[in-house]
Amino acid sequence: MLTIIDGGRAVDVEARVAGDRVLLTPEALREGLGWELHEGTLCNDSMCVPLPAGSSLASGGPLDLAEVAAALDRPLAVDVVERAVYLGASARERADTLRSLLAPDFTLPDLAGRSYTLADQRGKKVLLVAWASW
């Protein structure tokens, strides 16, 4: 088993570890991350991305998770001993969004567990403050 953490959600899938590589079946990739291979592209419910030139993903063998992350342009942190991986957010996507100056939206809870969404404040000027007790 392997735990894949993606977007704050952890999913357990079947996987094989070979050295520092994590190998998935196409079924595990679909279950764990929602991506499927279609003739040289990776697709999920909303989009398709082409595989990079020379990607081994097109070979028909087990799918190297590092190559999947590379194709998606996303960082992958791997712990082969604990069999857990974390798929992060693409630097390019984050940078492009910030460059657009449209404030990235988020929904977070307060102490009482009530959820607030930034976009609900449209029509007001917002001072957004990140702080911490540390």
Q: Give the span between the Cα atoms of 23 and 129, in whole angstroms.
A: 41
Is the Cβ–Cβ distance between 24 and 63 less than 8 Å? yes
Is the Cβ–Cβ distance between 88 and 75 less than 8 Å? yes
Q: Compute the least distance from the CB of residue 98 to other proteins, in Å.
A: 6
Backbone angles phi, psi at 17, to 5 degrees: -105, 130
Given 1, 8, 39, 60, the residue binding other proteins (CB under 8 A): 8
Per CB under 8 A, 116 contacts other proteins = yes
Is the Cβ–Cβ distance between 77 and 65 less than 8 Å? no
Per CB under 8 A, 17 contacts other proteins = no
Per CB under 8 A, 54 contacts other proteins = no
Per CB under 8 A, 102 contacts other proteins = yes
Per CB under 8 A, 123 contacts other proteins = yes
Q: Give the span between the Cα atoms of 7 and 19, in whole angstroms.
A: 26
- Judged by beta carbon, residue 38 or residue 99, the one nearer other proteins is 99
List residues binding other proteins (CB under 8 A). Answer: 3, 5, 8, 10, 74-79, 81-82, 84-91, 94-95, 97-99, 101-104, 106, 108-111, 116, 118-119, 121-134
